[in-house]
Amino acid sequence: MNFHILEECRRCLQCRKPSCTEGCPVGTEIPKMIRLLLDGNINESGEMLFRNNPLSAICALVCQHEKVCEGHCILAKKQSPIQIGNIEHYISDYYLNVLDPQREEAHNHRVAIIGSGPAGLSLAFFLVLKGYGVTIFEANEDIGGVLRYGIPAFRLPKDILDRMRSRLREMGVKIRPNVLIGSIVTVDELFRDGFDAVFIGTGVWNPNKLNIKGECLGNVTYAIDFLRSPDAFDLGASVVVIGAGNSAMDTARTALRQGARSVRIMYHRGPDDIPARDQEVQYARIDGVKFEFYRKALEITEKGIDCEILRRPEGAEKDPDGEPGGHVFIDADTIIVCISQGPRSNIVSNTTGIDINNKGLVVVDDCGRTTREGVFASGDVVTGPRTVVEAVAFSKRVEQAIDCYIRERCTAGCPPGPRRRKNPSK
C-alpha cells in the first residue's frame, strides 16, 4: 500500500457527524470507508463503496473533490483536507478485481438500458443486484459513453471500464454494442419484446455551434468528435480550442499529446471566470497550454480566427493587442470548438409520448419518470452536461422508481411524475 494512503487515513478525525459525507452527492460513508481499510477489511470497505456507488473507482478519479467531499472536510478549515479521492480510488480499484457481491435471486422482469455512460452503467449494476434481467443497448462499439469517448486516458484509464464490462457480463448483464435505438430498433419494439421498463441514458453528443462564418471549413472540428478518436485528426503545428470548461482542458492537453507544438485556449471572459476546475487549468498550463482571454470569435478562415477584442474589467491590465471593439487575428492550423453539447433526437423523434424541453432534454420528475409510462431517464440527457457523481445519484433514485413500478405498479415513496398528455405526439 502506498505510504501516503496510510498517512491520509490516519489523519481522518472520524467525525461523529462527518461533513465530508454530507458533501458527497451520493452520501458515501467516508469515515467508515477509512476505518474498515485501517482495520484490514479492504474488501468490506470496497463492497460498501460499490453498493452505494458502482462507479466509485471512476468518481474517485474525476470528481471535483474540492467542491464535494474534500471541500467539506473539517480539516480544510485550518490545513489540507484528507485526500479522500486517493483513498477511495485505492480501495475501489482493488475491489473491482475481486468484485463478487451478493445478489437477490433472479426473477423474470427485464429492463432495457439505452446508453452506457455514467447513468446507464450505474443503473445496470443497481438493477442486476436486485435480480433484474438487464440488457444494455450501446450505440458505440464499447461501453462507457462519455467516460470512454469523452475523457482522455491520462485522466481516466480505460482498463477500469474494461473491468466493469467484464463484471457486468459475469453478473448476467447482456450488452448489445453498435445499436442505435430510435430509427431502427424502437422503444415500442423493446416493450413488444418483453421489457418491463425502458431507461434512456444517452447523454449529450450533439456539439453546440458558434454559428459564425467559416465553421464548416476543413480545419474546424468539435471537441466531442476530436476526443472520441484523436488519432483520426491531422492537427498541424498550431491548435486553438474555443471554450474553457473541463472538456476544453482535456482537448487542449490531448492535442499536445497528438503532436501539436502550440495549443491555445481562447475564452471570451477572464482567468477568474474559467468554468473548468482549477486543478485541470493548472495541469493544462503545466503541459504548455497558453490562454487567450477576452476574445470573441467572429470568423474562421483556413489560416486561423478573426476575433473581436472584448472589454476587460475596470482596473485590469490593458489589452496588448488593442482597444475593446478592435480586431485581432489568431493563427491556427486547426480550430476545435468546445462550447458544450446537447442531446440527439433519434429516440424522441421516433417515439410517442416522451416530452422534451426547449433544449431538447427529456422531461422527468425527481425519480426519473418521463411522460410516457414505463420509460425512465436520467443523466446528461435530462440535466445537460453534469458530473459523473450527479448522474449516479440521479440513477439511484431511478432504480428505486423502476423497481417500484415493475414490482408493485405503484408510486409509493416517489413524488408524482410529469403530467401525462391525453394525446401524446412525437
Q: Is 155 exposed, middle or buried (0-12, 13-18, 19+ CB in 10 A)?
A: middle
Q: How many Å apart are CA 325 and CA 58, to the nearest integer?
A: 44
By the 10 Å C-beta count (0-12 exposed, 13-18 middle, 19+ buried), 148 is classed as buried
pLDDT band of residue 332 (cuts 50, 70, 90) is very high
Confidence category of residue 2, pLDDT binned at 50, 70, 90: low
| pLDDT single digits (tens) 342-396 | 998 889 989 999 999 999 999 999 999 999 999 999 999 999 999 999 999 999 9
216 and 333 share one domain: yes
Domain boundary residue, one of 98, 133, 148? 98
In whole angstroms, give the CA distance from residue 41 to residue 39. Answer: 6
Residue whose C-alpha is closest to residue 295's, from 318, 273, 327 = 327
pLDDT higher than threshold 80 for residue 80: yes
The three grid cell numbers given for residue 57, joined into one nine-digit string? 473507482
Summarised one tens digit per residue, pLDDT across range 98-150 is 998 888 998 999 999 999 999 999 999 999 999 999 999 999 999 999 999 99
pLDDT tens-digit series, residues 143-183:
999 999 999 999 999 999 999 999 999 999 999 999 999 98
CA dist 63 and 45 (Å) reads: 19
| 262 and 329 within one domain | yes
User: What one-letter code names the amino acid at 188?
Assistant: D
pTM above 0.85, yes or no: yes
Do residue 243 and residue 327 come from a single domain? yes
Specify the CATH number for the domain of residue 176: 3.50.50.60
Domain that holds residue 142: 110-206+342-408
Question: Does residue 418 have a pLDDT over 80?
Answer: no
pLDDT score of 424:
38
pLDDT tens digit sequence for 40-67 = 999 999 999 999 999 999 999 999 999 9
How far is residue 94 from each of residues 62, 88, 328, measured CA to CA in Å?
17, 10, 52
Looking at the structure, do residues 224 and 335 belong to the same domain, yes or no?
A: yes
| 130 Cα distance to chain centroid | 25
3-state SS record for 288-310:
CCEEEECEEEEEEECCEEEEEEC
Amino acid at 139: A
Tell me, yes or no, whether 251 lies in a domain: yes
Closest CA to 130 of 401, 391, 410, 417: 401
**Where does a domain end: 73, 98, 123?**
98
Per-residue confidence at 416, pLDDT binned at 50, 70, 90? Answer: low
Q: How many domains is the chain partitioned into structurally?
A: 3
